[in-house]
Amino acid sequence: MTNLALFASGSGSNYEAIQRYVTEGKIAANIRLVVTDRVDAFVIQRAKKYDIPVLALSPKAFETKEAYEQAILAELKKYDIDWLILAGYMRLIGPVLLGAYADHIVNIHPSLLPSFPGKDAIGQALAHGVKVTGVTVHYVDEGMDTGRIIQQRAVEVVEGDREQTEAAIHAMEHILYPEVLQNLFNS
């Protein structure tokens, strides 16, 4: 069975959606480790609920990004991790992890890439006045949200209401990401 490490920086709602699919046997994989770059991230509490080990490392505690990623890589090897699943992880993946997991890192992004890459994609979409935005699952490369697209789904913008637009996007993320992972690991 495929062993996953899930990377998150915040609340971990996408982690929990994926974890439910794994627990229900809908994704043929095990989440063996949750990795976070914030020692106070709420994803830690979510992982504890499922008895999933957590690696919480502050990048500032390391002299270089390479040293930070080497520390993560050492833990990934201990858990025999096959794939890295980014779900709200707010750091660019560097050469250490890209080299170790080439074509085995996926991410979810709250826009229809290549439109609105990077931070605050929802805010970018609203500022541009688009009527439709969406969700993209893609492979991770050295760029910011530039990897090969796996799947996308459109979400209508609720005009003048960021909160409702965000809720609709998050709801779609919680459907699309587990479905994509199902297709990747159940074939």
Between CA 44 and CA 54 the distance in angstroms is 7
The residue type at 102? A
Any idea which residue has 């994803």 for tokens?
Answer: 43
**Which residues, 6+ apart, have CB-to-CB distance to 48 below 8 Å?**
54
Decide: 124 and 166 in contact? Cβ < 8 Å. Answer: no
The 10 Å CB-count burial string (b at 16+, else e) for 143-175 is eebebeebebbebebeeeeeeebbebbbebbbe
Q: Is 109 a catalytic residue?
A: yes
Burial of 4 by CB count in 10 Å (0-12 exposed, 13-18 middle, 19+ buried)? buried
DSSP 109: E
The 10 Å CB-count burial string (b at 16+, else e) for 66-83 is eebbebbbeebeebebbb
Q: Which member of 109, 128, 170, 174 is catalytic?
A: 109
Active site residues: 109
